[in-house]
């Protein structure tokens, strides 16, 4: 990691952002006393505001730093991240936005368990959410460590610890309203900075994109602009990553729960539509910046900066805009990390407080959910800071892929079955969630990502271990396992309440299914399940 002298412009931008967001947090803390205000801002966020907040969840340190660095170091192959992330938004828009708003209250679990027995599903979802949130938090903290090193010259661990402490303040005192406005401000600043940097890059090539690409190919060959042919394990690893990045967003709790912060299902769909446009434009910019970094900085300089290519954009901003613009980009990227980490932490804390504490421990009795959520947020933050130490030198875009793999394996299959398959039972949902999450985590632990990059096994030694998993991304195996487990367990169990509850759910969603006559036994089972 390259260390630099303290940058005055970066300090100014950083503290300006910090002061504004702390002011928002203080204001929001006056309203964040009730559970509804703390968890979903009382459902009073507008569609446009929510679109920028949701885009803020996507426009993370991985998008700005990791994807541009990956494009610069590996070429066209890294575009897969952008294509798949953008492609996931139409699925969210047309498949999930309206159902989640109509069925959910505070968390994704409300939607999955709507027609099922609540307690077992809540426990399973929380267990699966822990690795999803932690992996995603790690990616943001890795980027933060590099940025604070550039801005302040602090070593990695103190930098990560400072980030954890700042974002924890947003969550503890401001709740969802403060986190949402931090995301909105961050998204606007990030888009503005990325657009200006793109203009500066194109100005070096007379605003001709083809001139920039010709400069890249002159140094690194035409193959840098085309997918590299892959065979064997590499080909299947690419397919696995593409699947994870496309459907993983449909299982990320901090993304989907944002549909609960607006007032109506129509507003939820408008939020997703606007966000699709914002995310699409941003990833076009990322493509240009990635190849701009390669053309103007070169791979050797990017690699020498450390962090798996994560520092390419800050270095490019210093080259083209001087210390002032470098300071702005660093501070905005840092604010990106703070906002995303705050959103993730709030999502994890909400899930634990609402689904486990209130739903399982208290079972409907009086429960101070907001207070429990604050304790949970503190524990999650501390754990993420220490885990970020082990993954310090990983590219953050790749780390996001691992988080998406777990979400795609644990949450997406069961969410899809809960919404679209009548036969899903509580037992099937629990098996699908737990098998998907555990298989994804186990395969990641046995993969080269952990065995070689983290535990530092020699590649030759890794190849000789029969029990290791040769691919870096497990989604190709863990997603089918989750679907198969949920379907098989559902077919081998009977739950009339869940079966008939599908019709009730369709009516709530406005689909008006055909009526199916119910027996007295089924009516009794439905009443019993809804009571639970």
pLDDT digits (tens, 9 = 90+) for 112-155: 888 888 888 888 888 888 778 777 777 777 777 766 766 677 77
Mean local confidence (pLDDT), 317-344? 77
pLDDT at 464: 79
pLDDT at 230: 65
pLDDT at 333: 73
pLDDT tier for residue 200 given thresholds of 50, 70 and 90: very high
Kindly report the CA angle at 141 between 160 and 135, in degrees rounded to 5? 135
User: Encoding tokens for residue 415?
Assistant: 């969410």
Mean predicted lDDT score pLDDT of the chain: 78
Determine, yes or no, domain membership for 519.
Answer: no
Residue 510 has pLDDT above 80, yes or no: no
Kindly report the CA angle at 182 between 135 and 293, in degrees rounded to 5? 65
Residue 393 has pLDDT above 70, yes or no: no
Q: How far is CA 395 from CA 56, 262, 306, in A?
A: 20, 34, 10
Query: HEC states along 410-434?
Result: HCHHHHHHHHHCCCCCHHHHHHHHH
pLDDT digits (tens, 9 = 90+) for 179-199: 777 778 878 888 888 899 999
Determine, yes or no, domain membership for 94.
Answer: yes
pLDDT at 413: 93
pLDDT at 4: 47
CATH number of the domain encompassing residue 417 = 1.20.1730.10
Mean local confidence (pLDDT), 488-498? 90
Sign, CA dihedral 404-408-414-420, equals positive
pLDDT at 490: 94
What domain range includes position 381? 8-493
Determine, yes or no, domain membership for 231.
Answer: yes
Least-confidence region, from 60-74, 279-293, 386-400: 386-400
pLDDT at 517: 47
Determine, yes or no, domain membership for 255.
Answer: yes
Mean local confidence (pLDDT), 53-67? 74
Domains in the chain, number:
1
CA 373 to CA 241: how far, in whole Å? 33
pLDDT at 261: 80
CA 486 to CA 433: how far, in whole Å? 8
Determine, yes or no, domain membership for 390.
Answer: yes
Determine, yes or no, domain membership for 529.
Answer: no
Determine, yes or no, domain membership for 505.
Answer: no
Q: What is the largest CA-CA distance in the chain?
A: 76
Residue 418 has pLDDT above 50, yes or no: yes
Mean local confidence (pLDDT), 504-525? 60
User: Encoding tokens for residue 211?
Assistant: 């001139």
pLDDT digits (tens, 9 = 90+) for 208-254: 888 888 888 888 878 777 776 666 677 888 888 888 888 887 888 77
More confident residue, 470 or 482: 482
Mean local confidence (pLDDT), 56-74? 75
pLDDT tier for residue 433 given thresholds of 50, 70 and 90: very high
User: With DSSP H G I counted as helix, E B as strand and the rest as coil, what are the percentages for the chain, rounded to 5?
Assistant: 80, 0, 20
pLDDT at 429: 93
More confident residue, 375 or 442: 442
Q: How far is CA 337 from CA 110, 425, 518, 519, in A?
A: 28, 39, 52, 54
Kindly state the percentage of the chain with pLDDT values over 70.
79
Determine, yes or no, domain membership for 422.
Answer: yes
Contact 279, 58 (CB under 8 A): yes
């Amino acid at each position: 990691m390259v260390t630099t002298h303290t940058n005055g412009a970066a300090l100014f931008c950083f503290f300006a952002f910090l002061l504004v967001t702390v002011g928002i947090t203080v204001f929001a803390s006056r309203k964040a006393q009730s559970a509804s205000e703390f968890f979903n801002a009382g459902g009073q966020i507008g569609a446009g505001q929510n679109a920028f907040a949701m885009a803020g969840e996507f426009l993370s340190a991985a998008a700005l730093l990791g994807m541009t660095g990956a494009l610069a170091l590996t070429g066209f192959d890294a575009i897969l991240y952008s294509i798949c992330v953008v492609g996931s938004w139409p699925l969210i828009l047309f498949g999930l936005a309206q159902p989640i708003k109509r069925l959910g209250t505070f968390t994704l679990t409300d939607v999955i368990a709507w027609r099922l027995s609540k307690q077992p599903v809540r426990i399973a979802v929380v267990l699966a959410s822990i690795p999803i949130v932690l992996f995603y938090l790690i990616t943001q903290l890795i980027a933060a460590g590099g940025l604070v090193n550039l801005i302040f010259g602090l070593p990695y661990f103190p930098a990560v610890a400072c980030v954890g402490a700042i974002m924890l303040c947003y969550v503890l005192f401001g709740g969802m309203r403060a986190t949402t406005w931090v995301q909105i401000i961050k998204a606007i600043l990030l888009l503005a900075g990325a657009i200006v940097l793109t203009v500066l890059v194109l100005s070096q090539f007379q605003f001709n994109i083809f001139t920039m690409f010709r400069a890249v190919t002159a140094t690194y060959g035409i193959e840098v602009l085309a997918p590299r042919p892959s065979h064997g394990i590499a080909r299947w690893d690419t397919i696995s990553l593409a699947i994870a990045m496309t459907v993983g967003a449909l299982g990320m709790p901090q993304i989907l729960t944002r549909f609960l912060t607006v007032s109506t299902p129509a507003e939820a769909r408008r939020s997703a539509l606007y966000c699709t446009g914002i995310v699409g434009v941003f990833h076009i910019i990322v493509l240009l910046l990635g190849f701009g970094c390669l053309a103007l900085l070169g791979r050797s300089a990017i690699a020498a900066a450390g962090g798996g290519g994560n520092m390419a954009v800050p270095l490019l901003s210093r080259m083209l805009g001087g210390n002032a613009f470098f300071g702005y980009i660093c501070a905005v990227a840092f604010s990106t990390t703070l906002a995303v980490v705050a959103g993730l932490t709030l999502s994890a804390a909400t899930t634990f407080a609402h689904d486990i504490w209130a739903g399982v421990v208290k079972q409907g009795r009086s429960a101070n959910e907001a207070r429990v959520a604050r304790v949970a947020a503190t524990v999650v933050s501390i754990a993420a800071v220490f885990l970020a130490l082990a993954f310090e030198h990983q590219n953050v875009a790749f780390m996001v892929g691992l988080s998406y793999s777990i979400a795609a394996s644990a949450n997406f299959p069961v969410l899809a079955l809960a919404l679209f398959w009548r036969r899903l039972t509580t037992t099937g949902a629990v098996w699908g969630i737990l098998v998907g999450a555990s298989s994804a985590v186990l395969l990641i632990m046995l993969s080269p990502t952990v065995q070689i990059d983290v535990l530092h096994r020699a590649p030759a030694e890794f190849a000789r271990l029969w029990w290791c998993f040769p691919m870096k991304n497990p989604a190709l195996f863990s997603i089918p396992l989750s679907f198969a487990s949920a379907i098989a367990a559902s077919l081998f169990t009977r739950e009339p309440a869940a079966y008939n509850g599908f019709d009730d759910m369709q009516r709530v969603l406005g689909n008006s299914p055909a009526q199916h006559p119910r027996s007295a036994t089924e009516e009794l089972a439905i009443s019993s399940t809804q009571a639970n």
